[in-house]
Amino acid sequence: MNNRRSLILREVSNVVIPSVLLYALYVQFHGEYGPGGGFQAGVIFAAGVILYALVYGRKKTQKIFPTSVIRYFVSIGLLLYAGVGVASMFMGGNFLDYNVLSHDPQHGQHLGILLIELGVGITVAAVMIMIFYMLDEYAEKK
């Protein structure tokens, strides 16, 4: 990548990237009430990180989001998703039967959806960032 970065691009990205990341959190935690959810939030968050990497470089981005940590987040998101399903089975329901997760079925539904969508969001964001890292590394070698 070119070492000389555009001042305008850097300054605009300093405003855009935090806004993108904040919007990803909004989509993540309000996904059960409207359009959006874990997958969309994960992709939006990853897009913000990828934009940062395109502006400042992958090596600087990997200091903030190291590859080893991204690998753990892939697993954490998947375990969170599966853990909610297994927990509902241990509590007497079917896999991903949210009603048994709380004393009130409506609270259980809300908690289950929130945790499932969080697991999906974490996994999708981590996988998208990991794919970008691998493709950028491959392109750098060529």
User: For position 4, what pLDDT does the model report?
Assistant: 60
In a domain, 36, yes or no: yes
Burial level of 33, CB count in 10 A (0-12/13-18/19+)? exposed
**What pLDDT does residue 1 have?**
45
For residue 123, give the nearest of 38, 4, 52, 55 by alpha carbon. Answer: 38
- Asked, for residue 2, whether it belongs to a domain, the answer is no
Domain assignment present for residue 11? The answer is yes
Answer yes or no: is 73 within a domain: yes
State the alpha helices, DSSP H only, in 5-65.
7-29, 38-56, 58-64
Q: Are 120 and 37 in contact (CB under 8 A)?
A: yes
> Domain tally for the chain?
1
Look at residue 133 and tell me if it is in a domain: yes
Give the relative orientation of helices 105-141 and 7-29 as an angle to the nearest 10 degrees: 150
Classify residue 43: in a domain, yes or no: yes
Q: What pLDDT shows up at residue 3?
A: 47
Is residue 77 classed exposed, middle or buried when 0-12, 13-18 and 19+ CB atoms within 10 A define those classes?
buried
CA distance 117 to 103: 21
pLDDT tens digits in sequence order for the chain, 142 residues long: 454 668 888 999 999 999 999 999 999 988 767 666 899 999 999 999 999 999 999 999 999 999 999 999 999 999 999 999 999 999 999 998 999 999 998 999 889 989 999 999 999 999 999 999 999 999 988 7
**Is residue 65 assigned to a domain?**
yes
**Residue 1 falls inside a structural domain:** no
The pLDDT value given to residue 36 = 67
CA-based nearest residue to 41, from 111, 129, 117: 117
Domain with 103, as residue range(s), is 7-141
